Amino acid sequence: MVVEVKNLVKRYKELIALDHFNMEVEEGEILGLLGPNGCGKTTAINCILSLLNYDKGEIRVFGEKMTPNSYDIKREIGLVPQEVSVFENLTVIENTDYFCGLYIDDKNKRKQYVEEAIEFVGLKDYTKFYPKKLSGGLKRRLNIACGIAHKPKLIFLDEPTVAVDVQSRNFILNGIEKLNDEGSTIIYTTHYLEEAERLCKRIIIMDKGRGLVSGTNEELKSMISTSEKIVVGFTEIEDETVQNMKNILHVMDIEKAGEDYIIKFENGFNNLANLMNFIEENQLVYTKLQSQLPTLNDVFLELTGKELRD
Amino acid sequence: MKNLIRNIIYQGKNLLRDAGFSFWVMLYPLILAMFFNIAFSGMMDIELTNIDVGIVDGNPIEQVLEEIEFINIHKITDEEVIEKLDNEEIHGFIDEDLNLTVKKSGINQTIIKEIIEQIKQMEKLNRPIENYDFEANYIVDRNQKANSIIVVFFSLIAMFSTYSINAGISTVSLTQANLSNIGVRVNSTPLKKKNFLLAGVIVALFLNLLANGVLLLFVKYVLKIDLLKNIKYSIILIIIGNLFGVSLGMFIGASNKKSMNTKILIGVASTLFLSFLSGMMGPWMKDVIDEHIPILARINPISIISNNLYRINILESTKTVGEGIMILFSYCGVLILLSYMFLRRKSYDSL
């Protein structure tokens, strides 16, 4: 196990930021911490890195207890903090070299690593630029380069795509997949569910400092009662017919959303075919018919009663 | 060691390229020195010529006044006094009892008053007035006035020697995860905090000393004011001033969670206030402190530096240098100790 967190409790006076939080990260995986802003993702990372005191619990990294003096463990870790954390008056190459040099003493090896990191994040044409001259997306890439240049075994990426353009976001996500392919274990925090779905082999959904559920993408989706949603729009439909629709096999609930109806189905197959039969039998004319598989947002909604982006 | 040198180089580059730092530490001292030189140059260049003095015919000191080269005697009647003073034809009027009447105060009026005082004293001592060299004595007086202005420049140098306070604040901020984003990153690496801090202190001292050197060269070669006669002790005092500045900066930086700008403001305001008390805004303040609260001059770090710079370079006395150095070292020790107590925390309650 690369990281083990047991019963972690962190309080800020009256506020409980982490409430008996548990986490296990296996070697080579990308673990996603998914949850809304303020749910405790960054606090969890800062506690694991021993930057923050905590009230209760146990943290082990690479099998050893993590303390502020665990310099050998820190040598194997890379951090990409949520805020861009670079020297404003050092160039791209100087920043990357400075932070890489805190881990790598050998000059030639460091030079090679720095060049690779800059190429990896696509900043080769900007090596002499100061951060203030870079766009938000490019700054984020520099932030990543400074955190991964020393080729760490374990990388913490704390919301690395916040406030970046689509192009940079895709670049960053591709890069993270590549880092994982090269053998790095990654802990990735985000409140963007698409990112978690795309990248993470395992996901912990967090809210109010607690880990609500954890599992693979499929496992999480299978935990909720809704397995399929079909959105359908009719030219005309009577209330009685809508009530009759509830008798279709596996239908759990029907919601009106504007002019459309969202029909939620329990686990089961042939939901769309069954609905089509009903439409034919009742001679209904539909303007829209769209099948949606559940998303992590549905999982979050069912677990907490609120949208992930609330 | 290699890591320390790398840290010094990169922290040095980062600080030196900071526009705010370059202005306040490198350029601002030169601007202020130039401004002070312009503002006080009038006081430094008093010319003793053409002081118009009114007397009535038969005044007992008429002959004495005639001997003084820079005095022009105007014989007037008692009725003409007010008119002549109003028209600024005379700077002052001396009556037969050696009372002085003036319309306004100024250097020329002060000199006339001083001459009358000198004559009165000579009379009391029954010494021949003819032997008295008034001009020579006023040249001495003028030098003393010039020396008062030099106090201002020594206070200025003392203040800028403590300007390492800014770099001290900045270094501490970069070291602490609860004070800066860089601090978060630095604390997650295997770099020991004390190494980062040591590099920052070395950079702060080096760059501020460099700025102090530029200021001294500017004062000597551009403003043509030769301040330092005793180089050895002057350099020791300036170095300790720098050390005090860094220590105070570290303390201000570590002791609270105010923003960086607020901390810099606190640092600048403290040094400016201490400099004001030491006579930087005008030598009169130093006189007031020396007369009413002499202990303040002995414990004010800027006063310690500026007074000792004055004594060793103008009065050629090193009598109080040892005591001053000891007090400054004590301040540094206490401030570093207090800063250490705040900085030794390795994990934080909140970031």
Chain B residues 129-148 within an 8 A CB cutoff of chain A: none
pLDDT for the residue numbered B144: 46
In this structure, are residues B114 and B132 in contact, taking their beta carbons and an 8 Å threshold? Answer: no
Q: Do B14 and A85 touch (CB under 8 A)?
A: no
CA angle B211-B217-B220, nearest 5°?
140
Q: Which long-range contacts (CB under 8 A, 24 or more apart) does A219-222 make?
A: A220/A296, A220/A299, A221/A293, A221/A294, A221/A295, A221/A296, A221/A298, A221/A299, A222/A267
Residues 6+ apart with CB under 8 A from B42: none
User: How far is A198 from chain B, CA to nearest CA, in Å?
Assistant: 27
Domains of chain A: 3-222 (3.40.50.300), 228-293 (3.30.70.980)
Task: Tell me: pLDDT of A96 over 50.
Answer: yes
C-alpha–C-alpha distance, residues B274 and B296, integer Å: 10
Model confidence band, residue A51 (pLDDT cutoffs 50, 70, 90): very high
Residue of B nearest to A101 (CA): B3
Which residues in chain B touch residue A53, judged by CB atoms under 8 angstroms apart?
347-349
Q: Which of A52, A83, A88 sits opposite B348 (nearest CB)?
A: A52
**Alpha-carbon gap: B24 to the closest alpha carbon of chain A (Å):** 17
Q: By CA distance, what is B6's nearest residue in A?
A: A98
| Distance between CA atoms of residues A30 and A160, nearest Å | 14
| pLDDT at site B132 | 55
- Give the angle subtended at the CA of A9 by the CAs of A8 and A10, to the nearest 5°: 120
Kindly report the nearest CA distance between residue A45 and chain B, in angstroms: 11
Find chain B residues with C-beta within 8 A of A101's C-beta.
3, 6
Helices (H), chain B: 2-16, 19-21, 28-44, 62-67, 81-86, 107-124, 134-161, 165-175, 181-187, 193-217, 231-255, 260-277, 283-292, 294-299, 301-310, 321-343
Which of A89, A147, A139, A158 lies closest to B17 in space, CA to CA? A89
> What separation in angstroms does the CA of B147 have from each of A67, A255, B150?
60, 91, 5
State how far the Cα of B93 lies from the Cα of B78, in Å rounded to an integer: 9
Selecting from B18, B182, B350 the residue whose C-beta is nearest the C-beta of A12 gives B350
Report whether A84 contacts A162 (CB < 8 A).
no
Q: Which one of B6, B11, B13, B188 makes the best mutation probe of the A interface by having the most chain A beta carbons within 10 Å?
A: B188
Contact B347 A94 (CB under 8 A): no
Provide the shortest C-alpha distance from residue A100 to chain B (in Å): 10
Domains present along chain B, CATH in parentheses: 2-43+148-343 (no CATH), 51-132 (3.40.190)
Residues of A with Cβ-Cβ distance to B16 under 8 angstroms: 89
- Overall average pLDDT of the A282-288 stretch: 92
Paired tokens of A120: 């990896």
B105–chain A Cβ distance below 8 A for any pair = no
pLDDT in tens, chain B (351 residues): 778 999 999 999 999 999 988 898 899 999 999 988 887 766 555 556 678 999 988 888 888 888 787 788 998 988 888 889 988 889 999 988 888 898 876 667 777 887 887 787 777 766 665 555 555 444 444 444 455 677 788 888 999 999 999 999 999 999 989 889 999 999 999 998 888 999 999 999 999 999 999 999 999 999 888 888 899 999 999 999 999 999 999 999 999 888 888 998 999 899 889 988 887 776 677 777 777 888 888 899 999 999 899 889 877 788 889 999 999 999 999 999 999 888 876 677 777
Whole-number Cα distances in Å, A88 to A144, A308, B14, B182, B260: 15, 34, 7, 10, 15
Q: Are A293 and A228 in contact (CB under 8 A)?
A: yes
Q: Where are the beta strands (DSSP E) in A35-102?
A: 56-61, 64-65, 77-80
A12 exposed, middle or buried (CB, 10 Å; 0-12, 13-18, 19+)? exposed
Asked whether the predicted pLDDT for residue A156 surpasses 90, the reply is yes
A74 Cα to chain B: minimum distance (Å): 5
